[in-house]
């Protein structure tokens, strides 16, 4: 493991690879039982970043034997057409999880589309009922004669899993989350609360932000602002999780850019005890959680 002074890197690539490797065995076992694990993906439009994310997810699926059923729709598709595709996937017993890549084009209401995904196939955990069950700390829900695990959004779940794999204690710790989005900050605050942390959420309206983030034993940064977090925001020996991902022009690199996060890595690395790199921190964990969800949902049908 690479060391910067006393700081340990939280190697998301390594942990995610281990998780995905274990899933491979599960997928094979399900196949023997006659269940071919399948993730349905709907991608609308041709945003470069969305295409990249979908490609990465599909590559990982392929590696471990999860089939994909993907539907590519052009930018000018109607909301009704998207809903119709979701509905077909809802009804298809061979598809175990459904992922609609966000963001959607502006003329399509994402809330409506996400809410139309069957709660039983909501691998992203964005459906209001899944979010509600998460908030209420319900781990399972029943539907018909089956018991389903409540799906939790992948990025927050990946952050917790990464801390757990490095045996970083959470209970009783002061956790500060910078950012309150529906896909990261908000659900992550609930997960930390369920793990008995003292949780603070801060955001653009927070006063004395540095003072607030400096209380954190565990600081999670998901504010979407490139390299905003420097050492003054970080308590000595904190564990810092960087959820951000940005592409920055860099002429010294062959490809002309580099990838960075919401944390200014070089300014923070010597002050904290643990830090996620970007890339290779939270990103791969998100995908590992997604695949875990697909396998969990497929297992119910075995």
> Closer CB to its own copies, residue 25 or residue 143?
143
Fill in the DSSP letter of residue 270: T
Contact range with its own copies by CB under 8 A, out of 61-69, 174-182, 218-226, 245-253: 174-182
Contact range with its own copies by CB under 8 A, out of 17-25, 91-99, 202-210, 221-229: 202-210
- Determine, following the binding rule CB under 8 A, whether residue 102 of this chain makes contact with its own copies: no
Contact pattern from residue 212 through residue 251 relative to its own copies, giving x for each residue in contact according to CB under 8 A and a dash for the rest: x---------------------------------------
> Closer CB to its own copies, residue 193 or residue 300?
193
Instruction: Report the residue from 180, 235, 269, 271 that binds its own copies according to the rule CB under 8 A.
Output: 180
Give SS3 for 274. strand
Q: How far is the CB of 147 from its own copies (least distance, A)?
A: 13
- Determine, following the binding rule CB under 8 A, whether residue 210 of this chain makes contact with its own copies: no
Q: Which of 100, 93, 97, 103 is nearest to 115 (CA)?
A: 100
Structure tokens at 115: 């809410």
Q: Specify burial of residue 151 (Cβ count, 10 A radius: 0-12, 13-18, 19+).
A: buried
Catalytically annotated residues: 57, 101, 124
Instruction: Report the residue from 50, 198, 230, 273 that binds its own copies according to the rule CB under 8 A.
Output: 198
> Closer CB to its own copies, residue 72 or residue 147?
147
Q: Residue 85 belongs to what H/E stretch? A: helix 79-91
Query: Considering only residues 141-170, where is the footprint of its own copies by CB under 8 A?
Result: 141
Cα–Cα distance between 220 and 205 in angstroms, integer?
17
Structure tokens at 153: 């959004």
Cα–Cα distance between 197 and 188 in angstroms, integer?
11
> What sign for the dihedral angle of Cα 103, 109, 112, 117?
negative
- Determine, following the binding rule CB under 8 A, whether residue 76 of this chain makes contact with its own copies: no
């Amino acid at each position: 493991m690479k060391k910067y002074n006393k700081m340990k890197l939280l190697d998301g690539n390594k942990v995610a690879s281990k998780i995905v490797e274990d899933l491979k065995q599960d997928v094979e076992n399900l196949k023997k039982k006659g269940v071919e694990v399948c993730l349905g993906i709907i991608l609308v439009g041709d945003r470069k970043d969305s295409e990249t994310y979908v490609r990465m997810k599909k590559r990982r699926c392929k590696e471990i034997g999860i089939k994909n059923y993907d539907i590519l729709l052009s930018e000018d598709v109607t909301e009704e057409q998207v809903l119709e595709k979701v509905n077909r996937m809802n009804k298809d017993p061979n598809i175990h999880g459904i992922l609609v890549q966000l963001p959607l084009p502006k003329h399509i209401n994402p809330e409506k589309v996400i809410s139309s995904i069957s709660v039983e196939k909501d691998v992203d955990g964005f459906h209001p009922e899944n979010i509600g069950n998460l908030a209420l700390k319900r781990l399972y829900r029943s539907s018909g004669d089956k018991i389903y695990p409540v799906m939790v959004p992948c990025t927050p779940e990946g952050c917790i899993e990464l801390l757990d794999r490095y045996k970083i204690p959470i209970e009783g710790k002061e956790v500060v989350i910078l950012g309150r989005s529906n896909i990261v900050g908000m659900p992550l605050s609930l997960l930390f609360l369920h793990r008995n942390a003292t949780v603070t959420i801060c955001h653009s309206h927070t006063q004395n932000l540095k003072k607030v983030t400096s209380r954190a034993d565990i600081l999670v940064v998901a504010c979407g602002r490139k390299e905003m977090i420097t050492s003054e925001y970080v308590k000595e020996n904190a564990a810092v999780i960087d959820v951000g991902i940005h592409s920055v022009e860099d002429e010294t690199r062959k490809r002309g850019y580099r990838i960075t996060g919401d944390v200014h890595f070089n300014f923070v690395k010597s002050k904290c005890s643990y830090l996620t790199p970007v890339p290779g921190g939270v990103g791969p964990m998100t995908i590992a959680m997604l695949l875990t969800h697909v396998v969990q949902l497929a297992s119910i049908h075995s």
